[in-house]
Amino acid sequence: MEQITVNPWASLAYLVAGVCFILALRGLSSPATSQRGNRMGIIGMTIAVVTTLITHIPTIQLVAVGTIGNEDYLAVFSHIDAVTVVEILAAIALGGVIGLVTARRIAMTDMPQLVAAFHSLVGLAAVLVACAAYLNPGAFGIAVDGLIFPQSRIEMGLGVAIGAITFSGSVIAFLKLNGNMGGAPILLPGRHVINLGVLAAILGLVAYFTVDQSAWVFWTITVLSFAIGFLLIVPIGGADMPVVVSMLNSYSGWAAAAMGFTLHNTAMIITGALVGSSGAILSYIMCKAMNRSFLSVIAGGFGGETATAGGAPKEQRPWKRGSAEDAAFLLEQAEQVIIVPGYGMAVSQAQHALREMGDKLKAHGVRVKYAIHPVAGRMPGHMNVLLAEANVPYDDVFELEDINSEFAQTDVAFVIGANDVTNPAAKTDKTSPIYGMPVLDVGKAKTVLFIKRSMGGVGYAGVDNDVFYMDNTMMLLGDAKKMVEEIVKSLD
């Protein structure tokens, strides 16, 4: 067995990296400090990667045998394996180039599916590490004469299970977010029984793996885990995707932590635990904000069996259409305007034009605020990031619980592409797939200006919005960015 030694300097470096990651999470908790938090994360990851490379430089052992006088000698020489080092550096460079190009080219509207794709890679990496450790445990220092330590089998079993669930679940989330699959829940007959049965089988096999390291046990755990990841995410509807992304983020962290034990890497354990716990906390907060239990989301999302109820557009109902000039007049006459951004704003990249409109209204003496729903967009913090990109003042941005009571005293609620999170059916229609979710009470404003591409479409949850047909609502149909730009011109 290869003896694993712990370098005290490496442990100190990993500790510093862990502190940087904690500071990164602290900084990312607020838009005002997010850039500093991002920099701390970069510093921490750089320290961890460099430390790992330095302490794990591959070497080749050379043995020299000879005779000096009447004495035989045996000498062992070590030198750096240059070929392997080049391969490692080439892999790092390739990954860095891919990451750089992706980061520069990806649109903000595609960030949710990009995050899901990254989670899938983390899960797959955990699976591959677990497979490598199982096939060659001696190289990882977790076996004696081919017999893997029981505690290592637990780490390996949990790592491959969580990693496989993360991978297949993230792939399904990516396909749904990217439009390759429909956002509506796909409900399999007897899915709850199937899911519980597969999960029980996985846990039972992981426990059995501690006493029997047979290949069939390990590979059965792997296959079942890939399957349950698919089965868990397929029934979840589009309205729950922000929670799913957060949940998969947590899974990827726990998978990394489990593999950190196998690799004897403190940085992976710390980082994985931080990502896993923070993702779990965020998922809980979001579920609470949507009046959903975490288990209900996992069991099939918003309304599972009733997901299609009330989902058909109601175009036959009367509604009022306005122009950019009409909207500009109403906005100029208002004392307070609350802007509600949604995914439609993200699609059209209207955040900069929206900020310009807000600045012009302020110049006219209008109080301008922005209302953010916890699940607006398709990932946690999606709208906050877009508004920060447009340099919207942080003090003007409010969360649902802080601003919802102000709509009744607001002259104009300006909704730009936020359908599901403003839909009163969440409070009134028990058959609606979004029933029970707290929503922004835009309908209580004196006037609602609602930008939407057309009256024929519905939100990501697949339901129509009664706000469209209210007497105090004026629909502004068209591309969100072009409509806001026209309003800005009319404000001059």
Residue 165's CB is within 10 A of a number of other CB atoms, namely 29
Q: In sequence order, what DSSP letters do the residues of 248-286 get, joined into one string?
A: HHHHHHHHHHHHHHHHT-HHHHHHHHHHHHHHHHHHHHH
* 450 SS3 class: strand
Residue 428's CB is within 10 A of a number of other CB atoms, namely 10
User: Is the separation of the CB atoms in 375 and 461 below 8 Å?
Assistant: no
Tokens of 59: 């070497």
For 314-327, give one letter per residue: b (16+ CB within 10 A) or e: eeeeebeebbbebb
In the residue annotation, 420 being an active-site residue is answered as: yes
- Closest residue by Cα to residue 264 from 118, 96, 149: 149
Q: What is the DSSP letter of 370?
A: E
Give φ, ψ of 386 to 5 degrees.
-65, -40
User: Is the separation of the CB atoms in 340 and 447 below 8 Å?
Assistant: no
* 74 SS3 class: strand
d(CA 44, CA 42): 5
Tokens of 431: 């058959």
- Closest residue by Cα to residue 376 from 395, 399, 392, 348: 399
d(CA 442, CA 415): 8
- Closest residue by Cα to residue 370 from 343, 340, 345, 411: 340
Active-site position among 420, 441, 464, 466: 420
| Cα 11 from chain centroid (whole Å) | 30
Residues labelled catalytic: 420
